[in-house]
Structure 1
Amino acid sequence: MSLFRRRDYPGQTADQLIPPRPQQPAGSAVVTNETALRHSAVWACLRLRANLISTMPVDVYRKVGGIQVEVPKPPVLVTPGGGEVEMPEWMYSSQFDLDRAGNAVGLITARDGLGLPARIELQPTSEVTVRMRKGKLTYKIAGTVYEPHEVWHEKQYTVSGLHVGLSPVAYAAWSIGEYLSIQQFALDWFSNGAVPSAHLKNTAKTITPDKADEAKQRFKAAVANRDLFVTGLDWDYNMIQAEQAGADWIAAKNFGIGDIARFFDCPSDLIDAAVSGSSITYANMTQRNLQFLVMSLGPAVKRREDALSRLTSRPRFVKLNTDALLRMDPHTRAQVIKTRIDSRTLAPSEARALDDLPPFTDAQLAEFDRLFGKGAQAQPTTATPQGGAPS
């Protein structure tokens, strides 16, 4: 089943917006959201994006006097699918569907005292149909029709006039199809015993067309059954296209990987598929991750924050903590923290809290006095007397 259905009112339908494909020739690969996962680059892109976004901590805030203050999360942002499905798993599954199908759909099976969703059970997108009939939107999931208020629907890659997001796989079908067709050829060649065009020549004598046909049939029958082909000393077999076919297969695989990486907005070098001849140099890993976050993941993160904010009461809002992605190496991190302390934008006690350490005690501050002289230690306001609160 498909998410796309023709609308009753004039205008372009979803299937018209996606470039049509001609009738598939015999033996060619048919690309769907499921078969596309056989392409290693498709799997790598979806896995990387879903892994990163699903492991970003989900925090809830509200503005108090113009300052952003963190507040407790509602249960739906802790175990959105019930006790057996926690937030990271739920986020991974929904992000995977968003990136490959353009939509993530779930059934709202419980609500809290404010009428907000308290439990959302994600559904396979292959079983979901979104219908618009005379201005009325309905969802059909596994044969059952649901009203919009019963369904949780996130979407991305949208176009005006459509109530669903579009799938990158639909647009990428040409490239994926080429790769899968070549992959099938490779399997036939390396596993099933099929061979490319070749030249079978008798070196001892000239043979008649009848004898040539007979030899060809014998040879083809032996190869098709993966059997031995027995000849005398007068036959030469040259696999004319084997070497070139293998080179073309490898070249097409490399092209397909880079092409799919662009469709799924995932740089090739991050899935170990850097394009030959290209070189991008970064001063450190933090810069590389920052570029990936800003250019690729940032828009998806913002859309998810807006969608998840609908699960909280206003004026609360949701933020995904991207600090984990921007984690620096120890040397760079220490330099940044020192710069912030020197510029008075970070207190020493806050810096220690970043490393899950408590404020300095008086005994620890005394050590600084002995090693570096009086006044070299952190400010006294960061000290914590043994057994007491910070002074």
Structure 2
Amino acid sequence: MGILDRMRRAVTRDANIVTAEDLLNLSREGRLGGKSVHVTNDSALRHSAVWAALRLRADLVSMMPIDVYRKVQGLQVEVPKPPVLVTPGGQEVGIKEWMYSTEFDLDRAGNCFGLITERTGVIGPDGRGLPGRIDLVELSEVTVRANGSQIKKFKICGTEYDPWEVWHEKQYTVAGFPLGLSPVAYAAWTIEESLNAQQFARDWFGAGIIPSGTLKNVGKTINQKNAREAKEAFRAAVSNGDVFVHGSDWEYKPIQAVAQQAQFIEARQFGMGDIARFFGVPSDLIDAAVSGSSVTYANISQRNLQFLIMHLGPAVGRREDAFSRKLVSNPRYVKLNTDALLRMDPAARAQTLKTQIDSRTLAPSEARAIEERPPFTEEQLAEFDRLFGSRSVPAQPTTAVPGATS
């Protein structure tokens, strides 16, 4: 029975009000698919591919500037951001750290939670003040009581809260289920296989799983007492790097790992590709081995654009929707500036701005603002005149006025 099937069965018992904690803290679900390594949200981070994929997504999302807009006569006009989008966790937790933490939890567990500890005077869609501060909480401390697809209560650190008191974002959702699905839960078999390979390597090189060698007397059969004395003498000699001296009747043969038998290299190599797919990151971006692919990119901008469209963009769009519905009042809406991900090299950026200026879709002053530079001063314009000749102002297109005579 799959994880989702078990959760759906749980939602049907106890008068349709249950604890759905095992999607949030896999240590309560029990061991998934193996007997050596216990895969949980925390232990999964010991795998470098899991850590790299989660870090990459959280890093990029946290660095995207957050802006608030409203429509004025059909034009998008930026408006001031509410405090919750500047210092959502108070003065100690800025928006970048808050966004990193929430994206990290969303990508590994499908959910993130926080307590709404302050509200503003602006009334939201639920008739209460909009959140002014959200203190994030650890996933393992959260228990959810649900009736079908509706969450009735949150229990955090032993205290019950109503849904309106808790900030809850989710992703990887399915119809009729109140929580997002956990990639770690579904990737547990793959993660476990790779972690077992790591454990095997540790045990091997620590001589804890297979003896490091055999010491054989080729001249006679020895009893347990003589074997123990020989082993202790051998260990005493070689433990500090000394030379072991023996006669013609003892033969030492070290045991070496056979990579094909242990499947160590294969498990590590192909496990990283599977993990990258589970967490929505191209394998090459986390330095995992990629075989059988000849895709190339003209520049880094094209690579980042492909990553944004195919992998990160949908998650960004869902977060924009959640912020717009829950953190600002209508008709305001929130946008994450993905241009931070699509930064071009200086030459390509300059050419793009020039093309927009030449096609009159961008004013020179706007291009200066994009580069975070102030408009040209009169002295600077005069310097251009001295170097390149007098200014030439392009003729502006004219619009015929009905009824006007020439």
Q: Which TM-score tier does this pair reach, normalised by the shorter chain? A: 0.7 to 0.9
User: In structure 1, the residue corresponding to 2:144 is in which secondary structure?
Assistant: strand
Post-superposition offset of 1:212: 8.6
State whether structure 2 residue 150 is matched by structure 1 residue 142.
no
Post-superposition offset of 1:43: 0.8
Q: Select which of 3, 11, 32 maps to 1:7.
A: 11
Provide, for residues 289-328 of structure 1, a one-character-per-residue CA deviation record: whole Å limited to 9, x for no partner.
Answer: 1111111110110011111112001010000011111000
For residue 129 of structure 1, what is the aligned residue in structure 2? 143
Matches within 5 A, 1:57-96: 57-96=65-104
2:321/2:334 contact within 8 Å kept: yes
Counterpart-to-counterpart distance in 1, 2:320 and 2:232:
61
Q: Select which of 220, 232, 235 maps to 2:250.
A: 235
Counterpart-to-counterpart distance in 2, 1:176 and 1:136:
30
Counterpart-to-counterpart distance in 1, 2:186 and 2:314:
20
Runs of 4 or more off by more than 6 Å in structure 1?
Answer: 13-16, 18-23, 220-223, 378-381
Post-superposition offset of 1:169: 0.4
User: In structure 1, the residue corresponding to 2:298 is in which secondary structure?
Assistant: coil
User: In structure 1, the residue corresponding to 2:187 is in which secondary structure?
Assistant: helix
State whether structure 2 residue 369 is matched by structure 1 residue 361.
no
Matches within 5 A, 1:156-171: 156-171=171-186
Q: Aligned partner of 1:104: which letter?
A: C
User: In structure 2, the residue corresponding to 1:301 is in which secondary structure?
Assistant: helix
* Alpha carbons of structure 1 residues 354 and 246: separation in structure 2 relative to 1, 3 Å: farther
Counterpart-to-counterpart distance in 2, 1:121 and 1:246:
50
Deviates more, 1:132-141 or 1:120-129: 132-141
* Alpha carbons of structure 1 residues 23 and 295: separation in structure 2 relative to 1, 3 Å: closer
1:81/1:120 contact within 8 Å kept: yes
User: Paired residues, what number?
Assistant: 369
* Alpha carbons of structure 1 residues 112 and 247: separation in structure 2 relative to 1, 3 Å: same
User: In structure 2, the residue corresponding to 1:139 is in which secondary structure?
Assistant: strand
Counterpart-to-counterpart distance in 1, 2:259 and 2:232:
21
Matches within 5 A, 1:74-223: 74-113=82-121, 114=123, 115-133=129-147, 137-190=152-205, 192-194=206-208, 196=210, 200=214, 202=216, 204-205=218-219, 207-208=220-221, 211=223, 215=227, 219=231
What TM-score do the two structures reach when normalised by structure 2?
Answer: 0.81
* Alpha carbons of structure 1 residues 218 and 146: separation in structure 2 relative to 1, 3 Å: farther
Provide, for residues 215-267 of structure 1, a one-character-per-residue CA deviation record: whole Å limited to 9, x for no partner.
Answer: 499659977xx958967343334445514369832332122222111111111
2:32/2:189 contact within 8 Å kept: no
Deviates more, 1:136-145 or 1:83-92: 136-145
For residue 335 of structure 2, what is the aligned residue in structure 1? 319
Deviates more, 1:106-115 or 1:125-134: 125-134
Post-superposition offset of 1:359: 2.2
Counterpart-to-counterpart distance in 1, 2:46 and 2:232:
31
* Alpha carbons of structure 1 residues 222 and 179: separation in structure 2 relative to 1, 3 Å: farther
Counterpart-to-counterpart distance in 2, 1:220 and 1:260:
45
For residue 387 of structure 1, what is the aligned residue in structure 2? none
Counterpart-to-counterpart distance in 2, 1:333 and 1:53:
22
1:198/1:237 contact within 8 Å kept: no
1:132/1:138 contact within 8 Å kept: yes
Post-superposition offset of 1:278: 3.4
What TM-score do the two structures reach when normalised by structure 1?
Answer: 0.84
Q: Aligned partner of 2:358: which letter?
A: D
2:108/2:184 contact within 8 Å kept: yes
Counterpart-to-counterpart distance in 2, 1:94 and 1:372:
52
Post-superposition offset of 1:142: 1.1
State whether structure 2 residue 287 is matched by structure 1 residue 272.
yes
Q: Aligned partner of 1:152: which letter?
A: W
* Alpha carbons of structure 1 residues 136 and 182: separation in structure 2 relative to 1, 3 Å: closer
